[in-house]
Chain A
Amino acid sequence: MKVVPDTETRFQINSDANDVVWDPSIEWIIGPYDEYAVEEAIRIKEKHGGTVISVTIGKGIEEKSIRKIMAMGVDEGILVNNASVNGSDPVSIAKAIAEVVKPLQADIILAGKTATDSNDAFVGPAVAELLSIPVITEVSGLDVNADGLIATRDAAGRKERFESKFPVLITADKGLNEPRYPKIPDIMKAKKKKLETLDSISSPITNNVSLLKVEFPAQKEGGNKITGTPDELVAQLVSGLTTKEKVI
């Protein structure tokens, strides 16, 4: 589970134009796709038994979100709290997660399909590769049985169905479930759940991707409002699309 800036955040760019401004007012949330993964893990536990352990790479602001998923039903948490790991490249992050996850010998590893901030969609499949287990990404339907699972997803307008034995890594897409809101007593109980913090990891840390510059996307020159009767609106639009834009 990654903790990311709220998706409604309006970012500013720093004076060197090489990063956004990490304003203290930014709200940090559970990665939206990770939340589907967490919810699914809890549902699987509720139906089939087992333990749900969360793993987070962080920089010191993650405990609130980890306590929240514990209130949802996660049993234990592991937080790698190390700024240099957290700020490293996707390969190092994947190696750090694989290192932490491997000894857990999990049957199912769930992750979000992508982090909404960095948008790499890399770590899930990479962890599977490092653990030598199969991966099924962007899953929106999951059916778990005694020794494996059936996963479905939308890919390029088709429905794809996969079948896998354990262990397997799944990345979650929207539509997989509707994450629950934690109940007050569970929020209290979550405070006492085990959260193990690791200060360092032994896998190598690399910084092979450099962020050189950030900018806002080019603003579209819009704002051309057309008013009139419905017939006038349609006539203007159709004429624009046929003669000016030549798209129909």
Chain B
Amino acid sequence: MSIAVYLETYNGNLIKASKEAITAANQLAGIMGKEVYGIVIDNQVDNAVSDAGKFGVTKVMISSGISLYHPTLYARIIANASKDADVVIFPATVWGKEISPQVCLKLNATPISEISGIEDGPTFKRSIHGNKIIATVSGTGKLVITVRSGIFDLPETGDATATVENISSEITTDGYMKLAEVLAASTGKIELTEADIIVSGGRGVGGPENFHLIEGLAEALGAAVGASRAVVDAGWRPHSDQVGQTGKFVSPKVYVAVGISGAIQHLAGMSTSEVIVAINKDEEAPIFKVADYGLVGDLFEVVPKLTEAIKTVKSGN
């Protein structure tokens, strides 16, 4: 009896959301009195296994030599590796959310999506109605859980080593199912849901031609760039940058809202950030109600000075 956690990797390394999923799994293991084991699928798995061990995972089940992500194949492998688990945990990433429902049905389990907290019972906290309501839910039977990114802390690091077990190889890529294939995957910018710092621009930025101010500040801070819905709907920024109810839910250490008034659907997407900085010339903007640092001023004057000041601080370190 145990808790399985799918440890999503990219190029052989655990992604941040997988480390947070380990924390969630360890928490749940404490409540339920269960063992935690990891599942890794990648071409090279050694780094991921070694890191999982350091984070306290005692056993990792592996499927190596798979160089392309494939939802159907991954779902089959993970279901195979978690047949005897009481709970299977996934990071709530694009991959995790794609695979976990398939695994859930293969295992006749009950799904609980995007948890943000675990309490005795066990019961789970999750956001519904676009982050405006926090629900406490419980599930019957075997559970398949996805863990919202950016909520759980990273697990503590030790010097333990995980044992390794191969996942039984009765898995075929052919069969009754026609298979989709990943043709191209290229890395780019810092992902919003993985970022520690986010700088977002709103309508106050005035136009796409001024977004270099946001990008410059983000670069100085080592931050990801986000945007409000108004900006995305106006076509100034790609939809993947949108923070809010019909965009991404983010919870970084620092969220800098520049020229964003703070509509309810935007606040729903970022108000759990640890530190919120708002830069807006409208003193009445609702964003100031959630801001730890509410800078009342013209962004065109403040942002360039702020960018320079941060560069100075960083170069002095």
Contact = CB atoms under 8 A, between A and B. Distances in A.
Interface of A: 5, 7-11, 13, 20, 32-33, 89-91, 94, 116-126, 128-130, 132-138, 140, 150-151, 153-165, 167-168, 173-175, 208-217, 220-228, 230-231, 233-238, 240-242, 245, 247-248
Interface in B267-301: 271-272, 274-277, 279, 283, 288-298, 301
Contacts of A227: 296-297
Given A20-B133, A136-B180, A223-B288, A91 B238 contact: no
Contact of B15 (A13, A156, A230): A156
Given A151-B180, A210-B139, A214-B134, 6 more contacts: A126-B111, A133-B177, A154-B240, A157-B190, A213-B135, A220-B272
Contact of A238 (B94, B272, B275, B313): B313
Contacts of B137: 209-212
B246 A174 contact: yes
Interface residues of B, number: 102
A220 B274 CA distance: 9
B65 interface: no
Contacts of A159: 184-186, 188
A132 B129 contact: no
19 contacts: A8-B265, A89-B110, A116-B246, A119-B114, A122-B104, A122-B111, A126-B105, A129-B75, A134-B177, A155-B93, A156-B191, A163-B183, A164-B180, A174-B246, A208-B141, A209-B111, A220-B292, A225-B294, A234-B305
A158 to B, nearest CB: 5
A224 B188 contact: no
B179 interface: yes
A209 to B, nearest CB: 5
Contacts of A133: 177-178
Contact of A208 (B101, B133, B139): B139
A162 B133 contact: no
B98 A160 contact: no
Among A126, A129, A245, the most chain B Cβ lie within 10 Å of the Cβ of A129
Interface string B165-209: 000000000001111111111111111011011000000000000
A222 B180 contact: no
B305 A119 contact: no
B113 interface: yes
Contacts of B110: 89, 91, 208-209
Contact of A222 (B15, B265, B291, B310): B291
A158 B105 contact: no
Contacts of A116: 129-130, 245-246
Nearest to A236: B293
Nearest to A171: B98
